[in-house]
Structure formats: C-alpha cells, structure tokens
Structure 1
C-alpha cells in the first residue's frame, strides 16, 4: 500500500491538523510534541502507551527545550496538551479525567494514541516516519528539527527521506524566496552577525547561513529586516533560544546555556555585543526581534 493512498493521506492529514491555540504568530508546539513523543514510544516499544507518571517529566522537558517559555509550572504545562489532545480524536485515556488538571492525572492515568491510528502506524513504519517528519517540518525550523527527533527517540535522518507532501493548511504553503538567503548573507558582508566568522571556499561562503528572526513557518517574511547572516553554530543556538537580541540589538545569552570548555564558554563572550551591520544594511525590525524574544528565547538572559 502506497503512502499516497487515500487512507494514508487521511491519517496524515488528521495528525497534521491538530487544533492549536495560535494567534499573532504565537508558537504552540505542545500537542505536536506530545504526538511525537508517542510516536517515538510506538517505534521503540510497539505501543504508544504513556503513563502520566512518565509524561509529566518527559513532556515537560520537551516543552522546556523546544517550546516557548511558559508562565506556568512544568507539570501544568505538560497537562494542557496531555488532556486536550483528546479533542482531536487521536488520543485516549484509560479513565476519564478533567481538562488541564494535574491532580487527577497523578492517580495512575495512562494515555495512548487512538487504537485504530496506533494500529495503522504500527503496521506501516514508513507511515509513522512520514507522520513524524510532517509534524517536525510544520512546527520547527530545519536547524533544530533533528534535535527534536532525537529527543523523542526517533531517527533524525528521516528528515532526509522524503515521502509525500501533506496539505495541512500551514505557512509552508507560502513560497520561499529563492534570492532571500543570498541577499541576507551579502547584506551582512558574508560573515556571522554575532561572531564575525567569514569562512569561504574559493568564492563561496562556508558555514554562513541566512537566519529568519521570526520563523518563516510562523509568518516571518523573506525580507532583509527579518534576516541575519549567522554561522551554523550561532544559527542553531539562535533558533534554540540560547541566543537572542535585546531592544538595543545587542546579543543576549540565555542562562539556560552552559559550557565547560574554553571553546564552549566563548558563547558567553557574545553577551552584550551590539550588531554592527555595514552601512545601508537593514537592521532587524523591532517587531521581529520582539517575536523572537517572546516565542523562541529560552529563560532569562545572563546578567551584565
């Protein structure tokens, strides 16, 4: 049976169209992260069964690492998707519990993917891979998609194995600009805006990438005031929320970032460095910087 058959498309569309609280570009990866965690368990154990006693920590860790900063406690943040995913008809419990409430979940509650959905995914590993790939590509930039898959126990290389395109009505239906990446890199003098790295091989840059400040997946435009040229390392740290920008366009380092070696601790030295673009380069727009600070940057910045 092909991945292009109607039953496969229906299943993938069902997972790709999870109801989420999204407005004004706010990130809401909570349900997708729970589904990915369940897919990882299914791939490893043959069952997606997830007791709250384990989900409370595992899901909270995923949300802390890959979601926006939460104003609620860890357990409460995990309880929201764990209970609300039932409304999407893809998640069930072994007993009835109220929405959003942590206490009843601690009375031995177990969740799992809906039975027919789990059976279809278990029988067809390629369908499970496609579901995971679709969720990751719909909710995370390419810099951190592999990290998400590793965190839930799935193979990061599946992002390189293309199956079918799923029409989920997401921002990915927008056409990316083919000239934007090169224009951003050129505007920042072909070097990292944070550290100045300017590696090249002949006439081509090496390790320099065009980074969206507000993610394209969440409405970020392919415009110069929404882009920075960053080295591969700092691009990834920027998308993971370990690096950000303040209102004066100085680099900030999150207190969640840690390193022991001299090379790793060099990241701390970026803190407080002001962006110095060449004359005429568009500065990052305040609205995009604010979005990144609220939706991506993790925790609080280093002091001083």
Structure 2
C-alpha cells in the first residue's frame, strides 16, 4: 500500500462523536472541518515547515467549514480546542507542548478551554509522509475530496475553497463599512476564538487603511517575508475598556510611538494634530523622539469614513 492509500484509509476512520436525530446518525463535523482548514492553510502557504500553529486564519477556516458543511444545528458551537486536541487519537496528528508543559499534554485526557489550549500547546506537526503528500496539489485534492465524501455526504456541494479567507474578508468589510455599533454588537466577548479572529481583522484592516504607514512619523514599513507586520494597529481607546475593534478606534503607529501613545506622552486633538505632553524630557536622540512631532498633522486614510472618531480621541485624551 502506498502512502496516499494508507492515509486515505486512516482519514476515513477518524474517531468522531455522533448522535441520532430522527433515527439518523449525525456525525460531528469538527475534526474533518479542522483538517479541511489545515489543507487550505497549506495551499495558501500560511502553514509551512510542518508546523500547524493556532492562528486566526486557521480558526476562521475551521469555523467557516463547520458552518458551511455541518449536517445540522446540533454542532453550531464550533469549539476549536476540541478537535485541535483530540485529533491526536488519529496517530498522525502530534501535539507539541510549550517548554516545561510536556507532562500536562501527556497526562491530559481533554482540554478545559481554548485559553488552556493556547497556554499549553505550541504547535502540531503531522506524520512526515502525510505532510509531504499535502504539499503535492494532486494528492492534496484527493485527500480533501475523500474527507468531503466520507464526512459530509449530504452537504459537500456547499464546499468552497478559501472559505476561511472569505470569512476574514467579510469581517473586514463589515468593520470598514458598517457603523461601529452594528459591527461590535454581533461579537460574543465570551468566545475567545471569535475575539482572536476579530483582533486579527482589526490589525489587518487598520494597516491597510493607513497603507502600512505610521500616522505620526510617516514611516512606511512592509514585511517582504510574509512575517508579522512591522507596524502596530493601535487601539485609540483600549479594547479592554470599550470592546471596540472598529476602524474608527484604530491608528497605525510605529512600535515606539504606539507605546508613547498608550502612556499618554502624546495625544491627538480634535483637528487631528499631534500634541505632546508636558513633563518629560528627551535627553538625546531627538531625531527619533516624540517631541519633534508636536503640532504635526496626522496622516489620515484616504477614505474619511476610516478616520479616527473624534469621540475616541477625546476619550483617550481624558
């Protein structure tokens, strides 16, 4: 038996929960939906080097495929932590604990919450032969179709490639186009996975709106390696205070200016001008400091609807 046949057989025998509804056994979509999201991540080169980390993109893909393909309302919860942890029973899904926490993984029979999962698990790796198969477009597609046929026979025609990216794009559109009250009202602040996804959307859309340019210094920083952004998407009023992840509560700032802003070393007035606080001195390095920006006009997005809301700037000043 070659590697592809071997893993197709293994994937057809995942341990999935099920329940009977009107005499028909309905199976949980969680494990196969997570694997479909992993396949999408590999295809989009978001997952590399056989290292599957807990990212907003992976969570968005998992939730999107659960919602698209779920056989019924019984599985609306989409608890990401459960399939991410329990896929280890497949034998090809290997959990890697954070340093010093290995015993917690080996001794645990389950995971308490999403936060617990993130605290304990650093990443997952696959069997090397399976990973190599998923790098090959033809084998990858055969594996995807096998998952759809086996676990989603009634709903597989709803499948759409890049559903996770579509979910992020739709959240981004809502963030930019809808009133903040509407966008914020639909988030469940108790859902840690939803908060992580929306935080990623906030960062992405704020940096896009400001064209990866610091609103104060004008420095444009773009990573060419696909790594984390070099600029920060800053909340004007802390998210912990308002739970406001809308574009009107965002600024693109260099990391040093982000820290200065959070510490109230400067603020932005109602005319969108930088105002530096009194009572601190820059002893050297004035070319890299904050005081040189005093009175300078903020660099704002081209679309006025994306400008910081004056009420948020006022709240930050207070």
Q: Which TM-score band applies after superposition, normalised by the shorter structure?
A: 0.3 to 0.5
Larger helix proportion of the pair: 2
**TM-score scaled by structure 2?**
0.36
**TM-score scaled by structure 1?**
0.38
Instruction: Tell which structure's C-alpha radius of gyration is larger.
Output: 2
